[in-house]
Structure 1
Amino acid sequence: MKRILFTSSFSIPDDYEQEYEIDYIPFIYVEIYPYYEFIKQIPLDVDSFIVTSKNSAKAIKDIELEGKFFVVGKSTAKELYGQNRDIAFITNYAEDLLERMLETDIKKYVFFKGNLSLTILPDALRKNGVEVVGIECYKTLLTPHKIDKQYDAIVFTSPSAVRSFSSMNEIPQETIIFTSGKTTAETVSTLGEYKIYYPEDTTKESLLELIKKKIND
């Protein structure tokens, strides 16, 4: 039976539990701030919002925001649709969203972010003369552990989880790595040459399907 380590909390179908030996060991902890801690930071003259993670989407669920949302990730969009938000664009990666945003005439955005969120998108917008107001609405804490077991595959769903894991562990060369997307895969690549897979479509379902396909090859 193949052993798989998930480095974050993850709900999976029952057939996975029957087919593989699975461990869940979170290497990060996410603290979402109460909305009243940051709501006053939101400028009243802005009606364009950037949301690049599901955590940010959850953080703003109780805030009334009128305007367009520019979103990275289908799971993020799903959370926002559940809040009846008006989504202008959805892309899998920040680089693709940037292209769409620069095609608009919008000159000011609010970026709901975490303490470790990547700054690629806001930095690029600012270089193009667009004002971005960053508002921290959640915090990611690294929670590293020493792992003694050997796994056939390790699953990472964020660059932070990769950094946390690698601070106390080395990834064996023969271990297959699965990531939620390209950005996390690139973080793993900085640690060495590994067999890394990530789905074209950055959804949990696509990732699970890919794991099942590749681990049995």
Structure 2
Amino acid sequence: MLKIAVMISGGGTDLQSIIDACQAGKINGQIELVVSNRQKAYGLERAQKAGIETAVVKKNDALIVSMFKERQIDLVVLAGYLAILTDELIDAYPNQIINIHPSLIPSFCGAGMYGMHVHEAVLNRGVKVSGATVHFVSREIDGGPIIKQVACDISDLDKAEDIQARVLEIEHQILPEVVGLYCDGRIQIENGRVKVI
């Protein structure tokens, strides 16, 4: 059973989807630690209710690496973590950090494209299809190998909040699914592309 750390900044609904999947026996792993860069992130309460250790760490990836190593973390999941990881943290866990992004990468991603900013940009551009992407984290922002993407029709929506809600439903499906695949050893990277075996 793999040891998982989850990093959050907000409400923690993506975190909750992983907690629920673990409790349902759908993931061959256990969340050992939830780290937030925001003291008042509601996701911390979700973790505590599930009996998971929590920590608040702001702008100190060296400390986070130390905490992860101490707990022998196998997989790091960014579940709505609204900060850019340092190279120190990324290099400490090569192809062991995954992120959920609320668009179909390579569209609407990169510097400044996070949270509601993504959905507002999607709305302003007038695209008809959006979705969510789970990818490995690399030194390039949102540039690591893509693991899974699911699209949804948003042509009937005219508010960024409604787009966010629809995309969030996809996030709650695919993030725990990918975590489960990783914990089962079913994800491989060949020539920069992910294969599920």
Instruction: Compute the TM-score of the two structures, normalised by the length of structure 1.
Output: 0.36
